[in-house]
Structures are given as C-alpha cells and as structure tokens.
C-alpha cells in the first residue's frame, strides 16, 4: 500500500538504550512514504546508543518540541522509556497528542511512556509481556496480539511485530488525514 505522507511530520523519542529496530524501522518506513521524522532526545545533536549498539543522533531536544508541529508521536521500546517516562516534557507532549487525538504509537516497553502520561485508561493495547501488569494497572485493556489499533492509539509487542505496527500507524494516519 502506498500512502503519500508528503508534508506530514512525526516525533520519535530517543535516548540511550533504545531498542534499535523499534526506532529505525518506523522512522524509515514513514520517511519512505514521504513523511519527516524528528528524533528528539533529552539533548539535541547528541549521539545515543541503541540497546544493540546502533547509534542515533537526535535532531532536537524534547523540551523544544511542540505538539502542533507534528501529526503523531512514536514511543520505541528498549530500556529508554523507563527513563523518559520520568521527564515532565515527555509526559506533557504525550498528553497533548492525546488531547488533540493525534497518533500515539508505542511498541514493546515504549508503552511505559503513555502509561506515565496517564492516557491509556480504557484504551485497548498490547505491549511487551514484561509491562502487561503495568498496562492493566494503568487502566488499559490488554490484548496479546501483534498490533492493536484503538482510535488514535497503535501498540505492538516486540520487534517481530514491526510490519503490523507500521501498517497500524499508516491506517490511523490515513483516517486522520481524511478529516
């Protein structure tokens, strides 16, 4: 399926020990379709090491990001989300994406970020089995499936689910651009 995403902009969080594939696969898939993806970390222009050693240089600092500049946000997994979920700028951004009903996509442990932003109550989700209890305790409705799409939320369990995760993101984006 070819979906023209020219002119659409997405935010993707990055910090040390991100899950390499869960950042790069969606980033490259969206860019392949014509979108622009901004990699925002705690610091701008800093090199962050992935869980498997792949480097990623941030484009911008999270504190400088504005939800109005983007059509959605991607929360990759790894150990990174456990640190970023404590950053008030990350949480307020995710809350603003939710308030505006823009795409919030989380894979694996990336679900920790929407949990801490308190936007998952009543939302059907999946994620790493390691955070299943956290998701349920946050009020989410757990499903053990490769991808769950619930309104503007997309979630997946692990790197093997990345094709389904990206198809889920593209379906939400297609619905949102029809409005």
Domains defined for the chain, CATH in brackets: 9-178 (3.40.50.880)
CB neighbourhood size of 159 (10 A): 16
Residues known to be catalytic? 109
The pLDDT score that the predictor gives to residue 144 is: 97
Q: State residue 178's pLDDT score.
A: 79
Taking 50 as the pLDDT cut, the residues of the chain under it are: 1-2
Q: What is the pLDDT of residue 101?
A: 98
CA distance 62 to 53: 22
- Give the pLDDT confidence score for residue 4 in this predicted structure: 78
Q: Which two tokens stand for residue 78?
A: 């790894």
- What does pLDDT average to over the chain? 96
Torsions phi, psi of 18, nearest 5? -70, 155
């Amino acid at each position: 399926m070819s979906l023209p995403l020219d002119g659409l902009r997405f935010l993707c969080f990055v910090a040390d020990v991100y899950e390499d594939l869960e950042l790069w696969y969606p980033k490259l898939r969206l860019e392949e379709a014509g979108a622009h993806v901004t990699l925002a970390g705690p610091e701008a222009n800093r090199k962050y090491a992935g869980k498997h050693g792949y480097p990623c240089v941030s484009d911008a600092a999270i504190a400088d990001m504005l939800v109005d500049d983007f059509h959605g946000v991607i929360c990759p997994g790894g150990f990174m989300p456990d640190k970023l979920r404590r950053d008030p700028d990350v949480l307020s951004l995710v809350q603003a994406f939710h308030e505006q009903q823009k795409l919030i996509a989380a894979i694996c442990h990336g679900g920790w970020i929407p949990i801490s932003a308190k936007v998952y109550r009543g939302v059907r989700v999946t994620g790493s089995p390691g955070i299943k209890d956290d998701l349920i305790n946050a009020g989410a409705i757990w499903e053990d499936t490769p991808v769950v799409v619930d309104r503007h939320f997309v979630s997946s369990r692990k790197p093997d689910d990345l094709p389904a995760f990206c198809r889920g993101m593209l379906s939400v984006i297609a619905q949102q651009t029809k409005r």
